[in-house]
Amino acid sequence: MNTVLNIAELKDYPSSESNVVYVSGYYVENDGGAGIYSWNANSDAPENGGTIIASTLVDPGRWFLQHQGSVDFKNFGVMDDEEPADFALVAMVNDFYIKNIIATNPLKFTERHIFRRSGLTLDFNHNTVKTTRIEPAAPNDPFSAVMFFQGNVTDHSVQVTLTEKIIDGVDVFQVDDSNQFSVGEWYTLEVNTLPGGTYNRELQKLVEIISIIDATHIRVNYRNAWELAAGRVISWTKVEPVQHLTVKNMQFFGAGDTAITGSHPLAFEYAIYANVANIHATGTFWPAIIRRWGTHYITDQCSLTNPYGITLGGSGYLTQQLNCLYGHVRDCHTVNARHLNDFTSAAYCMVENCHAEGDDQGPFVTHGQYEHDLVYTGNSGMMTFANSGAPWGSSAKRITVRKHVCPYFAAFTKITDLTLEDVTVLRPSAGTFLGEFRVNADGLNMKGCSTNGALRIYQASQLSKRKNIIQNSSFQWDERVAPITAVNVTGAITFVDSQFININGQSFDGPGSVDFIRCSFAGDVLKALPEIAAVRLRIAECDFTGSGLSLKNLNQKNVLLTNSTLTQVGLNFTNFNAAIGRASFIFTNNVLNDTTLTAVPIAANNVKWDNNVFFDVVTV
């Protein structure tokens, strides 16, 4: 094998002397651009400055870099970040023989690229990527990334008007003619909008056909979560997704402080198995990693620090995911960003061990476009669900949050079957947060949760079949927070083995029923009593110290207080209406010490006042 010093000498090398030549370096020997080139006398392929080199002596005829699927930017003469590397990136991505693109030095990109490529890994080896003086982005286009991997949308589209109901939890869909579909094909699945919102639709996913059931039914790789009535219209559009992509190990520095001049590294659309790891971005504008119509992906150990904008929707995100399935975001971090993780119309996704500092804009959010079956574990930072308003539907279902710490938690729109475990809401000593814990009573389950600000319970929806249960939790009220703890709750709420601290002046205002079982209440005997307006109140095996309660609703029908201990408290039953049909008042097996009782009913037939122990009790 003959040897030349650089690419310039290769271009002048007579192919008659050898069909295989070793090039010692791109510019100079051992500069990292070395490689073995072979001669193809019949090729007239366009020269790309790296893997395809034209001869100055004959034409046609090209020198081809011999590689086993891995090529470095240095093979294109890109040795640093002084000159743009866009031409090399385009050449390598569009060469389907290249499977691994490698950067072993800092780079600069000044263009925004759209690629239709699958089966590719880009490894930047933790080098910096700059975007100084990058070309302007399209107006209001968060997909104007440096690298946008996008699948193809075909012209095969089918609309199906349902004649039968599709229920929660099924993966079989009605179609007019199953012969129009084949196993292994991918489709965007989209239902028509509901009244009252531009984006108010329950179904928008990228799915694969996995079996043909019969002439009018097919199965996909997704279990629907929202009931779709007969008469709704589902659109099936065939796509050819990009797939099996990995981009990793990049230190990205944005340039520009507007939607037009700003930059961000990655975007994916109609993509499956498109993974991102160790992308660390600083100074971006749009989401550093944005996905739309994505299925099966991982975002791992990525971060965003000090993006240029955090007030405009879409700006200052680490990752935004629209219409996505089976995603996993893990071990990520943000500093002074708007959102760490944003889901819109997402399902069966997980966010794990992600943390946000300087999180005034809310790191963990969903838009409320019918997200479902999301799991958050071991994260920290403000959390808000289904918070973008009626145009999106304000709905979500089966969200689980475990071991989370934040200054504010908001899930009080139409959130069904919310499960919270070991969620801690802490009011900071300074700042605008109130330490509030806001939840929707529609299949709400809370266990081991706490706040030192306020608990506020709402009821925006009534879809769940499970009870609202709050257990082993602790709530400490801050006097700076408005005394509203239950609003418009017509259903039942049960508190079990929980404690309420500084509860004076607070209120449970819902017209439904409230149960306290083995709970403790602590307050200041000199301050206002907490008020309960529930139509049914049950208190069993509870402890009251320096607090008590006052009935608030004149239509209160049922009151049970049994097997409890009350010390230095006040009980005000002025608003119990014994005349209401089937009303009952049961006050039994309690121990009262230094307690004031106001308007206790004792004479009516529906009143049971029995086996109580009194020490220094005053009756008013």
Distance CA 122, CA 181 (A): 34
Which CATH number fits the domain that encloses residue 234?
2.40.30.240
Final residue before a domain boundary, out of 223, 240, 257: 240
Q: Is the pLDDT of residue 231 over 90?
A: yes
Does residue 14 sit in the same domain as residue 102?
yes
pTM, whole model, 2 decimals?
A: 0.95
Claim to verify: residue 163 and residue 234 sit in the same structural domain: yes
Residue 206 lies in a domain: yes
- pLDDT tens, position by position, 463-516: 999 999 999 999 998 877 766 667 788 889 999 999 999 988 888 888 889 999
Q: Examine residue 283 and state whether it is found in any structural domain, yes or no.
A: no
Are 77 and 158 members of one domain?
A: no
Asked if residue 93 is part of any domain, the answer here is yes
DSSP annotation of 602: -
Q: Is residue 189 included in any domain, yes or no?
A: yes
- Tell me the pLDDT of the chain averaged across its residues: 94
Same structural domain for residues 100 and 17?
yes
Domain count, the chain: 2
| 84 and 176 in a common domain | no
Does 449 fall in a domain? no
The last residue of a domain, from among 76, 108, 140: 108
- CA–CA distance, 366 with 384 (Å, rounded to integer): 7
Q: How far is CA 109 from CA 80, 91, 121, 245, 278, in A?
A: 11, 14, 18, 20, 19
Last residue of a domain, one of 213, 240, 267: 240
As given in the structure block, the two tokens for residue 581 are 């049909």
H-helix or E-strand containing 10?
helix 7-11
Strands 217-220 and 233-240: unpaired
Average pLDDT over residues 51-62: 96
The stretch 134-138 carries a mean pLDDT of: 96
Write out the residue range of the structural domain in which residue 29 sits. Answer: 2-108
| Distances in whole angstroms, Cα of residue 213 to Cα of each of 42, 81, 172, 182, 186 | 52, 55, 8, 11, 17
Residues 6+ apart with CB under 8 A from 525: 546, 547, 568, 569, 570
pLDDT band at 434 (very low <50, low <70, confident <90, very high): confident
Question: Would you call 204 exposed, middle or buried from its count of C-beta atoms within 10 A (0-12, 13-18, 19+)?
Answer: buried
Same domain, 10 and 95: yes
Beta strands in 131-183 (DSSP E): 147-150, 152-161, 172-174
Q: Residue 199's pLDDT is what?
A: 92
Residue 431 clears pLDDT 70, i.e. is over it: no
Q: From CA 370, how far away is CA 145, in angstroms rounded?
A: 27
Whether residue 101 lies inside any domain: the answer is: yes
Same domain? For 12 and 79 the reply is yes
Closest by CA position to 530, among listed 565, 483, 577: 483
pLDDT-derived band of residue 602, with 50, 70 and 90 as boundaries?
A: confident
Note whether 156 and 98 are same-domain residues. no
Task: Encode pLDDT of 168-206 as tens digits.
Answer: 999 999 999 999 999 999 999 999 999 888 899 999 999
Same domain? For 21 and 104 the reply is yes
Is residue 337 very low, low, confident or very high in pLDDT (cuts 50, 70, 90)? very high
Residue 478 has a pLDDT of 80
Q: What single-letter amino acid sits at 477?
A: W
Question: Which amino acid would we find at residue 336?
Answer: N
- At 588, list the tokens: 């039994």
Q: Within a domain: residue 235?
A: yes
Which tops the pLDDT comparison, 110 or 485?
A: 110
In a domain, 533, yes or no: no
Task: Say if CB 333 and CB 363 are below 8 A apart.
Answer: no
